[in-house]
Amino acid sequence: MTQKLKIGKYTARYPVIQGGMGVRISAGRLAGHVAKCGGIGLVAAPGICLNSPFYNGKNYFQADAQAFKDELRKAYEIAPDGIIGVNVMVALSDYEQLVKAAIEGGAKVIVCGAGLPLSLPELTAHAPDVAIVPIVSSLRAAQLIAKKWHKSFNRLPDAVVVEDPDTAGGHLGEKMENIGTGEYDQYATVRQVKDLFRSEYGVDVPVIAAGGIWGREDLEHALAEGADGVQMATRFVCTEECDADDAFKQKYIECKPEDIGLIMSPAGLPGRAILSNQDSIRQYDVDNATPCRLGCLKKCSYKESGERFCIVTSLDRAQRGDVETGLVFCGTNAWKSDKIITVQDVFDELFGEDEK
């Protein structure tokens, strides 16, 4: 019988969270269909208002909150009883506003990475039914979060996502020089985090493995190694329901393993992406003298000094189909995509035989 995944007050039929992919790659349609199929679907916060009817070119932060709630509404139209949540990067300028908007929009789970969400229990105190889930890559980060949350708010995470920086896509919670050295052991970290909560707090907290999860074999390996579930993002890009343009999906289908590598984001974090066009991403901003119009990140080298490139507009271009000058984030398994399928097809591959 398939292992279920309980996070806070919510129990998913399958132990799968669809990872948050910013700037409308995982918006309401994808999150809704993942939830409908029995997983946990996440609407990603970064740049959610871009390419939406709420943004008029001047009202970024107001439109961000409106668009966030609207995508949650769309997701619940698809899966009225589904477990639908959000991913909100701590590094966002409007992080607190987006957490508030997520609660107002009915999010059942709030997942936070790209920084330590030390204030998250305070931001969600008025909504105790909302499950709060930090993303970490180390035992040390989990210890810091648990200590702060327990001491200041008498709260512990409802689950913890342990993300493998050697395989995950998008922004990564590790220094560039430490990625790909072969020293990181994802499942040792999963077990250490589980033990932290058992030994120091006397509770079992579900720990979710993220990064490098593609097929049934990966899922079964993760569960066998002590994870309570998996988070999958790259796997859901080449689905009909993914909110990205078809050209974005085609970039995954055409890429080779050697096309995937690391960039340094203006957010000050490494990121994994398809790198075949990395020079033209920066060149677009140079040619168009792109100003920092949005101020989307608390800290950004492009905002502060014009270094690197404007990340949110480069991701927006890619989401809309301009994959020549846009940034295409992905995990190390993106090259395994060979055709467009449905979200249900992914779940059938992962769990189909269990249903017979």
pLDDT of 296-332, one tens digit each? Answer: 888 888 888 878 888 999 999 999 999 999 999 999 9
Query: Does 162 lie in the same domain as 63?
Result: yes
**Would you give the DSSP letter of residue 177?**
G
Read off the pLDDT band of 63 (50, 70, 90).
very high
Helix (H) or strand (E) segment spanning residue 250: helix 246-254
**Would you give the DSSP letter of residue 239?**
B
Q: Say if residue 341's pLDDT is above 80.
A: yes
pTM over 0.75: yes
Distance between the two ends of the chain, CA-based, in angstroms?
Answer: 10
C-alpha 96/C-alpha 195 separation (Å) is: 30
Compute how many other C-beta atoms are within 10 angstroms of the C-beta atom of residue 224. Answer: 9
Residue 181 maps to a domain: yes
**Would you give the DSSP letter of residue 228?**
S
**Rounded mean pLDDT of the chain?**
93
Q: Minimum mean pLDDT among 31-40, 176-185, 226-235: which range?
A: 176-185
72-to-48, 55, 76, 108, 114 alpha-carbon distances in Å: 11, 17, 6, 10, 22
Q: Say if residue 109's pLDDT is above 60.
A: yes
Contacts for 205 with CB less than 8 Å, ≥ 6 apart: 156, 157, 158, 159, 160, 193, 194, 197
Query: Does 99 lie in the same domain as 51?
Result: yes
Query: Does 97 lie in the same domain as 24?
Result: yes
What domain range is 16 assigned to? Answer: 5-243+339-355
Residue 334 maps to a domain: no
339-to-87, 273, 345, 353 alpha-carbon distances in Å: 27, 19, 12, 22
Residue 119 maps to a domain: yes
Query: Does 217 lie in the same domain as 80?
Result: yes
Residue 67 maps to a domain: yes
The type of residue at 165 is: P
Query: Does 281 lie in the same domain as 345?
Result: no
Torsion of CA 195, 200, 202, 204, to 10 degrees: -30
| Angle at 34 (CA atoms; ends 7, 124), nearest 5 degrees | 40
Contacts for 340 with CB less than 8 Å, ≥ 6 apart: 238, 239, 240, 246, 249, 253
Residue 149 maps to a domain: yes
Say if CB 337 and CB 253 are below 8 A apart.
Answer: yes
Query: Does 142 lie in the same domain as 159?
Result: yes
Query: Does 148 lie in the same domain as 132?
Result: yes
Query: Does 234 lie in the same domain as 251?
Result: no
The domain tally of the chain equals 2
Query: Does 209 lie in the same domain as 285?
Result: no
